[in-house]
Amino acid sequence: ENVLTQSPGTLSLSPGERATLSCRASQGESNNYLAWYQQKPGQAPRLLIYGASTRATGVPDRFSGSGSGTDFTLTISRLEPEDFAVYYCQHYGSSPLYAFGQGTKVEIK
């Protein structure tokens, strides 16, 4: 079973600062079926990044994804007030089909 571990658990930053979120998979694969989601309280998750580095439709270019194999990163270049939320990574594989990390909360410092 592929387990995704996100770090840190919480990131306390100010608007305008850079956020760097990490996601490590227990099983490395040659594909880059890694996605990132943003979730705000009371809302469904929103897909931000897929294929490790491709922004989904309508996602601002301050969001970028990188990485391969077992180590992936989501970077928010300059935090806007609406970016404070919880972020999840997710990998598609054989077991489970969609594995999610436990989430990183980006909070206002």
Partner 1 sequence: QVQLVQSGSEVKKPGASVKVSCKASGYTFTTYAISWVRQAPGQGLEWMGSISAHNANTNYAQKFQDRVTLTTDTSTSTAYMEVRSLRSDDTAVYFCASYYRISYYYGLDVWGQGTTVTVSS
Residue numbers at the binding site for partner 1 (CB under 8 A): 31, 33, 35, 37, 39, 44-47, 50-51, 54, 56-57, 88, 90, 92, 95-103
E-assigned strands of the chain?
A: 4-7, 10-13, 19-25, 34-39, 46-50, 54-55, 63-68, 71-76, 86-92, 98-100, 104-108
- How far is the C-alpha of 35 from the C-alpha of 103, rounded, in Å? 12
Question: Shortest Cβ distance from residue 12 to partner 1 (Å)?
Answer: 18
| Smaller CB separation from partner 1, 12 or 98 | 98
Question: Shortest Cβ distance from residue 94 to partner 1 (Å)?
Answer: 9
| Smaller CB separation from partner 1, 17 or 93 | 93
- How far is the C-alpha of 7 from the C-alpha of 104, rounded, in Å? 7
| Smaller CB separation from partner 1, 84 or 88 | 88
